[in-house]
């Protein structure tokens, strides 16, 4: 089954991008974004993620090909028309103006306000709603200088949200965020998607993208592979992608592993699942593989008093009260 053309909000046709003719970063791209879909653009640093997003929304001119927005070439829309269809959040914001959060978010209403930019009561309601959407409802009078990185990024996203466009494009929105803030932000974008908007965002964080994106665009060499995260996982792409970087992708668990040196194998036994999973993580981190019947055996004992680990090898057994002391012993061994 294929998507009907009316479902497509963006479709790239033989799109070629780069800064100069003759040295295209990515060429002959044929990609689509459907309505109400969240697309994660994945690629390593310097592979052209920003260039692609900016070329797509007309901030840079493509070298070849067209980007169709709602079935019409992007270049045929005037700037004010574009501003009502696509909003953008940039990765870099080194210098922020001295505005309040409310004023910043209010800028998002620019495509709708008159020549003096006066906000109507309806605009003010939208601004307040957008701030509540990003959990910053009480921040309207705060100044941008006084915000944390995560709050600042959320405020920028609220600005894009009040622009009220069917498509939101975000360039590395999580680049400067810690893990909780990253998840918070991705959850926010998923909520926007559930509200019917289409989202395209770039990131190098494959793991969070795998958990939330409807579709991934993965930059590999000079091509972009398109598909559901699981389709790409199934194709073995991720192992290929990270083959040079000392990271391997475990296709069974969907997790990334540092492929350090292998130290040997361990047989792991125990009666409760949770301690077993964490023990397995610790052993894999140290470079041990888990195999039934290996010489070295670790028994995870759960008792009401807590969990303890018994290491059995030739010449006796040792007991450890936590995973840290077990791993210290294994390293020194």
Residues that bind another protein (CB under 8 A): 54, 57-59, 79-84, 86-88, 90, 93, 95-100, 103, 107-108, 110-111, 113, 115-117, 141, 144-145, 163
Closest to another protein by CB, 202 vs 327, is 202
Distance (Å, whole) CA 62 – CA 53: 11
Tell me the closest approach of the beta carbon of residue 41 to another protein, in angstroms: 17
Tell me the closest approach of the beta carbon of residue 233 to another protein, in angstroms: 33
Residue 147 per-residue DSSP state: S
Contact 141, 18 (CB under 8 A): no
Residue indicated by tokens 């699942």: 273
Tell me the closest approach of the beta carbon of residue 328 to another protein, in angstroms: 45
Tell me the closest approach of the beta carbon of residue 53 to another protein, in angstroms: 11
In three-state secondary structure terms, 141 is coil
Tell me the closest approach of the beta carbon of residue 255 to another protein, in angstroms: 36
Closest to another protein by CB, 1 vs 116, is 116
Contact 330, 286 (CB under 8 A): yes
Closest to another protein by CB, 118 vs 292, is 118
Closest to another protein by CB, 100 vs 299, is 100
Closest to another protein by CB, 167 vs 266, is 167
Closest to another protein by CB, 41 vs 283, is 41
Tell me the closest approach of the beta carbon of residue 91 to another protein, in angstroms: 11
Closest to another protein by CB, 99 vs 212, is 99
Tell me the closest approach of the beta carbon of residue 143 to another protein, in angstroms: 9
Distance (Å, whole) CA 146 – CA 143: 6
Closest to another protein by CB, 134 vs 276, is 134
Q: How many C-beta neighbours within 10 Å does residue 281 have?
A: 13
Distance (Å, whole) CA 256 – CA 46: 22
Closest to another protein by CB, 144 vs 224, is 144
Contact 178, 194 (CB under 8 A): no
Give the CA distances from residue 264 to residues 81, 248, 284, 289, in Å, rounded to whole numbers and listed in that order: 62, 18, 10, 6
Tell me the closest approach of the beta carbon of residue 86 to another protein, in angstroms: 7
Q: Residue 274 burial (CB < 10 Å; 0-12/13-18/19+)? A: exposed
Q: For helices 149-162 and 179-194, what crossing angle results, to 10°?
A: 10
Q: Dig out the tokens for 275 from the structure.
A: 């301690």
Tell me the closest approach of the beta carbon of residue 117 to another protein, in angstroms: 3
Question: Among the residues of the chain, which ranges form H helices?
Answer: 49-56, 79-83, 101-107, 121-133, 149-162, 179-194, 206-212, 229-234, 237-241, 273-285, 323-332
Q: Residue 16 burial (CB < 10 Å; 0-12/13-18/19+)? A: middle
């Amino acid at each position: 089954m294929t998507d009907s053309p009316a479902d497509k909000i963006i479709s790239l046709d033989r799109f070629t991008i780069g800064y100069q003719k003759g040295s295209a970063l990515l060429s002959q791209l044929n990609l689509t974004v459907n309505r109400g879909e969240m697309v994660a653009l994945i690629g390593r640093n310097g592979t052209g993620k920003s260039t692609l997003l900016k070329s797509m929304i007309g901030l840079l001119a493509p070298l070849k090909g067209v980007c169709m927005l709602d079935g019409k070439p992007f270049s045929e829309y005037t700037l004010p028309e574009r501003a009502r269809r696509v909003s953008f959040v940039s990765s870099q914001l080194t210098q922020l103006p001295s505005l309040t959060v409310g004023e910043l978010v209010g800028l998002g209403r620019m495509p709708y306000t008159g020549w003096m930019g006066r906000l109507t009561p309806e605009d003010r309601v939208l601004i307040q709603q957008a701030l509540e959407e990003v959990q910053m409802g009480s921040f309207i009078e705060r100044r941008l200088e006084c915000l944390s990185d995560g709050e600042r990024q959320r405020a920028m996203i609220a600005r894009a949200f009040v622009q009220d466009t069917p498509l939101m494009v975000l360039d590395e929105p999580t680049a400067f965020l810690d893990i909780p803030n990253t998840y918070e932000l991705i959850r926010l974008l998923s909520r926007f998607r559930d509200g019917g908007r289409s989202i395209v965002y770039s990131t190098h964080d494959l793991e969070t993208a795998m958990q939330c994106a409807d579709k991934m665009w993965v930059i590999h060499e000079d091509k972009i592979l398109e598909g559901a995260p699981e389709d790409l996982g199934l194709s073995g792409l991720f192992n290929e992608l990270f083959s040079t970087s000392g990271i391997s992708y475990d296709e069974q668990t969907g997790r990334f592993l540092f492929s350090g040196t292998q130290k040997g194998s361990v047989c792991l036994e125990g009666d409760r699942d949770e301690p077993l999973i964490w023990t397995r993580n610790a052993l894999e981190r140290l470079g041990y593989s888990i195999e039934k019947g290996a010489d070295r055996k670790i028994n995870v004992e759960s008792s009401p008093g807590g969990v303890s680990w018994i290491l059995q090898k030739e010449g006796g057994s040792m007991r450890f009260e936590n995973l840290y002391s077990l791993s210290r012993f294994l390293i020194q061994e």
